[in-house]
Amino acid sequence: MSNPNRHGHHTLTRLTVHLVWVAKYRYKVLTGDIQKRCREILIQICDAEDVQILKGAVSIDHVHMHIEHPPKLSVSDIMKSFRGRTSHHLQEEFPQLKKRYWGNHFWSIDYGAWNTVNVTEDMIQKYIAGQRDSANDKALMLE
Known catalytic residues? 127
Find, among 116, 111, 113, 112, the residue nearest to 16 by Cα: 116
Other beta carbons within 10 angstroms of residue 4's beta carbon come to 11
Q: How many residues does the chain have?
A: 143
List, in order, residues 6 or more apart from 55 with CB less than 8 Å away. 64, 65, 66, 124, 125, 128, 129, 141, 142, 143
Number of helices and strands in the chain (H, E):
4, 7
